[in-house]
Amino acid sequence: MAKSYRSAGELTFDIFNFIILGIIGIAAILPFLFVVSGSFATEAEITKRAVFLIPTTFSLDAYRFIFSTDTIMRSIGVSLYVTVIGTVVNLFFTVTMAYPMAKRYLMGRNLILNLVIFTMLFGGGMIPTYLVIRELHLLDTLNALILPGAISAFNLIIVKNFFQEL
């Protein structure tokens, strides 16, 4: 079996890649490690020391505080609700719109698909979305998190193509 030899340039390139990607990887992981180590430190140590990875005094006070209230369980419940209901609503509306779009005899089909693709490429932005949610009286409701994503243009195209293949 023949051995493959790498040139000096290839070796230098690989070493340079490993070093750069290693630095980027460490820079990405360090903030998470700082948050985890800060969660096990005392409040005084967090205010005294700017950056540390190993706390000098081990404390579970932050976890006792978090679990002493119902905030964490309520937050998990809201996340589950928005995820499950949002997925069901998105799936329902996407399939409901994609099935007729798969029919070639539908009048205005190309216009509607072009409008859908336009919304996929050019979003309204944060301020118009806020104005729509405000006018629909959805401020401070969970429906404000669900209804703006009721139809995904990308998913609509995927499901439409799936229906056309049937």
**What is the per-residue pLDDT for 2?**
60
**What is the per-residue pLDDT for 1?**
59
Average pLDDT on 92-98 reads: 95
At residue 93 the predicted structure's pLDDT band, cuts being 50, 70 and 90, is: very high
pTM over cut 0.75: no
DSSP 26-72: HHHHHHHHHHHHHHTS-HHHHHH-SS-SS-SS---HHHHHHHHSSHH
Alpha-carbon gap, residue 79 to 65, rounded angstroms = 21
Residue 133 CB contacts under 8 Å (≥ 6 apart), including other chains: 139, 144, 148
pLDDT digits (tens, 9 = 90+) for 43-70: 888 888 878 888 888 899 989 988 898 9
**What is the per-residue pLDDT for 162?**
96
SS3 141: coil
Long-range contacts of residues 31-40, Cβ cutoff 8 Å, at least 24 apart: 39/63
**What is the per-residue pLDDT for 6?**
83
**What is the per-residue pLDDT for 133?**
93
Residue 4 has pLDDT above 80, yes or no: no
Identify the residue with better confidence: 19 or 52: 19
pLDDT digits (tens, 9 = 90+) for 107-149: 999 999 999 999 889 888 899 999 999 999 999 999 999 998 8
Q: Could you tell me which of 161, 49, 147 has the C-alpha nearest to residue 92?
A: 147
Q: Count how many residues are written for the chain.
A: 166
Alpha-carbon gap, residue 99 to 164, rounded angstroms = 8
